[in-house]
Amino acid sequence: MERMIEFVPLLKLVQEYISTRYAAALTDQEKHNQLRSYISKYLNDYGYTVSGLTQEEVTEKLYREMAEFSILTPFLHQDNVEEININAWDDVCVTYTNGKLVKLKEHFHSSQHAIDVVKRLLHQSNMIIDKATPMTQGHLGSNIRITAEIAPIVDESVGVAASIRLLHPSRVTLSKIVSSGMGTQDMLDFLCMCVRYGVSFVIAGVTSSGKTTLLNALMTSMPHEKRIYTIESGAREFDLVKRGRNGKIVNNVVHTLSRPSDNPAHDVAQEKLVVGALRFNPDGIVIGEMRDVETYAAVEASLTGHAVFSTVHAHAAEGAHTRIGLLCQKRFSIDFNTSLTQAAQAFPIVVYCHKLESNERKIMDVTECEILPNGERKYHSLFSYHITKNEIISGKTVIEGEFVRGKGISPSLQRRLLQGGVPRTELERFCAKEVAA
**One-letter identity of residue 288:** G
| Lateral strand order in the sheet of 144-150 | 101-103, 91-96, 81-88, 160-166, 144-150, 135-140
Per-residue model confidence (pLDDT) at position 433: 52
On the question of pLDDT at 434 being above 60, the answer is no
Per-residue model confidence (pLDDT) at position 254: 94
Average confidence (pLDDT) over 29-33:
69
Average confidence (pLDDT) over 363-392:
94
Classify 234 in phi/psi space as left (phi over 0), alpha (psi -120 to 50) or beta: left
pLDDT band of 1, cuts 50, 70, 90: low
Q: Whose CA is closest to 341, among 380, 369, 309?
A: 369
Q: Are 353 and 363 in contact (CB under 8 A)?
A: yes
Does the pTM exceed 0.85? no
Per-residue model confidence (pLDDT) at position 435: 38
Q: Whose CA is closest to 218, among 310, 143, 323?
A: 310
Per-residue model confidence (pLDDT) at position 388: 96
On the question of pLDDT at 437 being above 50, the answer is no
Least confident span in 27-41, 106-120, 161-175, 298-312 = 27-41
Per-residue model confidence (pLDDT) at position 416: 94
Strand pairing class (252-258; 160-166): unpaired
